[in-house]
Structure 1
Amino acid sequence: MAAETESSPKTVLTKPDSLVWSSTAVVTFHLIFCVLVIALTATGLILNDRNLECEASVEFASWQKLQITLVSSWAGLIFLACILVLLECWRRNGHTIKMIAGVTCVLTVIMVSSLIYLHKAETKEIQHFRERYLTFLPHMRRTKYVRNATCSLLTNVYSWQTQFQCCGLESHQDWNSFIPDSCLCNRGRSESGCVEFKHSLVYEKPCLPTVIDLLKTHNYPFWIIMIVWVSIVSSPLAITCLTLAGLIIWSFFFCMSWLMEDQIVWCKTCWRKKRVPVVFIRKENNNQALSRKQSSRDASGEHTNTEQEEEEQNTEDKPGVNPVKMITLPQLSRLQEGLDPPPVLHRVQNGPCMCILPPSTKIKDFYTVWIEEGSPLLPGDAILVDAHIPMKNCFWDKGHRYYDVNDIVWPKEPEKSEKSEKSEV
Structure 2
Amino acid sequence: MSDLYGRHKAVLPDWLALYYDDPIEITHGEGRYVWDAAGKRYLDFFGGILTTMTAHALPEVTKAVSEQAGRIIHSSTLYLNRPMVELAERVAELSGIPDARVFFTTSGTEANDTALLLATSYRRSNQILAMRNSYHGRSFSTVGITGNKGWSPTSLSPLQTLYVHGGVRTRGPYAELSDAEFIAACVADLEDLLGHVRPPAALIAEPIQGVGGFTSPPDGLYAAFRRVLQERGVLWIADEVQTGWGRTGEHFWGWQAHAQNGPPDIITFAKGIGNGMSIGGVVARAEIMNCLDANSISTFGGTQITMAAGLANLTYLLEHDLQGNARRVGGLLIERLRAVAARLPGVREVRGRGLMIGVELVKPGTDTADPETAAAVLEAAREEGLLLGKGGGHNTSALRIAPPLSLTVAEAEEGAAILERALRSRVQ
Answer whether TM exceeds 0.5 for this pair. no
Structure with greater Cα Rg: 1
Whose RCO is larger (CA < 8 A, sep 6+)?
2
TM-score normalised according to structure 2 size? 0.16
TM-score normalised according to structure 1 size? 0.16
More helix by share: 1
